[in-house]
Amino acid sequence: MLRSPTPALPAHTPDGGPVDSMPVVNLGLIDYLVMVFFFVTVLGVGWALRRATRTSTDFFLSGRSLPPWVTGLAFLSANLGAQEVIGMGASGAKYGIATSHFYWVGAIPAMVFVGLFMMPFYYGSRARSVPEYLKLRFDEKTRTLNAVSFAAMTIFSSGISMYALGKLLNLLLGWSMDVSIVVSAAVVLLYVTSGGLTSAIYNEVLQFFLIVFGFAPMVWIGLREVGGWDGLQARLADAAVARGMEANAYTSAWSTMGSPADNPIGVEWFGLVMGLGVVLSFGYWCTDFLVVQRAMAANSMTAARRTPLIAAVPKMFFPILVILPGMIALALTATAGPEGGMIPAKLDGAGAVLMDATGRPVLDYDLATPMMLVRLFPSGLLGLGLTALMASFMAGMAGNVTAFNTVWTYDIYQAHIRKGASDAHYLWMGRAATVGGIVLSVAAAYAATAFNNIMDLLQLVFAFVNAPLFATFALGMFWRRATGHGAFWGLVAGTTGAALHHGLSLAVGATPGIKGGFFGVLRTYPSELGQTFWTAIVAFFGCLVMTVVVSMFTRPRPDEELRGLVHSLTVRPADEALPWIRRPWVLAVAILAMTLALNLMFI
């Protein structure tokens, strides 16, 4: 999930190889039984849906026939890859409650926006993918640019997901990485090729419930151990003071955001709201086909619009399941005795504990949530928690694979390689692309093992490509004068601007290279996250300005061709036919009010 606006998950050990130490925990028969039950159900769902998948629309878009609560939970679950569960736990331990900004600022507003204002164009235009919308609205070259970069990204994301899962299971359970990678790839392959998107979505809903039921007891047991929320606050206050910050640095989300120096994230409120809340968040939730595809599978326009809104409700409470464990782990580490805390320290090549400049051990934050699982759960629940962890990785993988096979088949194969073939042929191609996509993902997983730096570089390039996307879509949907040439050159300019900004800036303490500064250092940021947010801001405005300028000098398409694609030329969705409680905007207002309340509670 490297496109999600979340902190990157460093998916490798310092020496680059897989970890081969003693397993942290041994499983009992009961734990294996829980896993077997889950895998049998997942494969059974795929098998049962096989007969219902007859046309390419069934395979790629679930026949546009699913109810909104199903597509809504899948919308949420498809984003729950490695990054979400492990990365958010790691950030919770590193930054505390401020990590919730990735939800309350960096997700909910954008999810509301895509449901209310953008879904009418995605769903109503009958585009079969997000790149295809770009083709309908702009032109072939803009679509192809987006389709090719998106397809490449999905492969690397699912490869990294597989690699991270393999590495984690190797560390925790001593399982062979090869076996983890091959087995998880085979399971996803079987259920996606048999039932297509419906199968992926059904399993995502299943995985959603598994994650909730697998993680909830961990949070509860953890809170019990630190003495509830009050006990957690007291322990984290000690930890914050010991690190030279205000006592509330880990437990209040906003009051330390005035200056980058006062909070663990190292970002001020403007960079946070603009960079994360506007550019990165809208760029991901509103334009990424991985999530939008779930809404496109809904059974009506209203259902498609309600999909991200329904997803937003559990999303706003997800910090309890994914961030709180990290905070509890930090509390159990900071106040632990000499026997060591919940989060293990990083080791150097010789096996000695790495120390930072202040003589404190460097913690391996990525292990915060996994360690909570294996340390707090007795056998029985341990199997459930590990199954939930695997489910989250597989949901992320399957989400990428289904988005890949659709974009490959419709936007690359049908558009450029073989036009006008029969529907049966494209259905066959979809299944073949699933196999091909998974084989390539496995290759990417092994590439991640062998060449860490190449993977870091690719993540960086993808970040540059994604940062300007929302400017293109916003202008396309809300400004009828925007042209195909404008959109294409805007994207190129935005990506270039991102690369330039990154190449000319550096975070404090980072060495020039992949972290930035490769063209010289004009600007220094207090943290890498701050640098990332400002790179996104530069990309967005670069794209916006270039698209407007080029559009003014090129010929716009006639209005008749833009009906259903641009806001001012499309009949507004009228919700009057629905009972008021089911109207999308009523739900949207309730969600925004609840999100505001959450922000105020943890201010």
Partner 1 sequence: MSTLTGIDIRYPIGGLFTALGLLIGGYGIATAGDAAVYARLDGLNVNLWWGIVMLAFGLLCLGLARRSEATPTVRPSGESAEGRAIEQSETRRGLERNP
Binding of partner 1 at residue 424 (CB under 8 A)?
Answer: no
Which is closer to partner 1, CB of 47 or CB of 446?
47
Half-sphere exposure of 74 (CA within 13 A, CB side): 32
Residues 402-421 binding partner 1 (CB under 8 A) are: none
- What 3 state SS string does 533-581 have? HHHHHHHHHHHHHHHHHHHHHCCCCCHHHHCCCCHHHCCCCCCCCCCHH
Residues 115-174 binding partner 1 (CB under 8 A) are: 120, 123-126
Q: How far is the CB of 562 from partner 1 (least distance, A)?
A: 13
Cβ atoms of residues 573 and 524 within 8 Å: no
Q: How far apart are alpha carbons 130 and 479 in whole angstroms?
A: 18
Cβ atoms of residues 84 and 322 within 8 Å: yes
Binding of partner 1 at residue 114 (CB under 8 A)?
Answer: no
3-state secondary structure at position 506: strand
Q: How far is the CB of 406 from partner 1 (least distance, A)?
A: 16
Say which DSSP state 298 is in: B
Cβ atoms of residues 119 and 308 within 8 Å: yes
Interface characters, 346-375, with partner 1 (x: CB under 8 A): -----------------------------x
Which is closer to partner 1, CB of 389 or CB of 448?
389
Interface characters, 203-242, with partner 1 (x: CB under 8 A): --xx--xx--x---x---x--xx-----------------
Q: How far is the CB of 510 from partner 1 (least distance, A)?
A: 39
Binding of partner 1 at residue 301 (CB under 8 A)?
Answer: yes
Q: Please, which residues bridge with residue 516 across strands?
A: 513
| Residue 354 CA to its chain's centroid (Å) | 30
Q: How far is the CB of 300 from partner 1 (least distance, A)?
A: 5
Binding of partner 1 at residue 436 (CB under 8 A)?
Answer: no
Residue 419 burial (C-beta neighbours within 10 Å; 0-12, 13-18, 19+) = exposed
Which of these segments, 43-51, 90-98, 162-170, 523-531, binds partner 1 (CB under 8 A)? 43-51
Query: Which residue in 564, 567, 585, 592 binds partner 1 (CB under 8 A)?
Result: 564
Two tokens, residue 30: 């009961």
Q: How far is the CB of 334 from partner 1 (least distance, A)?
A: 19
Binding of partner 1 at residue 318 (CB under 8 A)?
Answer: no
Which is closer to partner 1, CB of 209 or CB of 270?
209
For residue 296, CA distances in Å to 77, 114, 390 come to: 15, 12, 26
Q: How far is the CB of 381 from partner 1 (least distance, A)?
A: 6
Q: Please, which residues bridge with residue 355 across strands?
A: 361
Q: How far is the CB of 337 from partner 1 (least distance, A)?
A: 16
Residues 175-204 binding partner 1 (CB under 8 A) are: 198, 202
Binding of partner 1 at residue 337 (CB under 8 A)?
Answer: no
Amino acid type, 342: M
Residue 403 burial (C-beta neighbours within 10 Å; 0-12, 13-18, 19+) = buried
Two tokens, residue 357: 């400049």
Cβ atoms of residues 288 and 3 within 8 Å: yes
Binding of partner 1 at residue 512 (CB under 8 A)?
Answer: no
| H/E run at residue 260 | none
Which is closer to partner 1, CB of 515 or CB of 567?
567
Two tokens, residue 434: 């699933």
Query: Which residue in 17, 258, 380, 512 binds partner 1 (CB under 8 A)?
Result: 380
Which of these segments, 11-19, 141-149, 378-386, 431-439, binds partner 1 (CB under 8 A)? 378-386
DSSP notation for 48-81: HHGGG--SHHHHHHGGG-B-HHHHHHHHHHTT-S
Amino acid type, 321: L
Which is closer to partner 1, CB of 182 or CB of 586?
586
Interface characters, 573-592, with partner 1 (x: CB under 8 A): xx--x---------------
Residue ranges that bind partner 1, judged by CB under 8 A: 30, 33-34, 37-38, 41, 44-45, 48-49, 51-52, 54-55, 57-58, 62-67, 70, 120, 123-126, 198, 202, 205-206, 209-210, 213, 217, 221, 224-225, 299-302, 375-381, 383-384, 563-564, 570-571, 573-574, 577
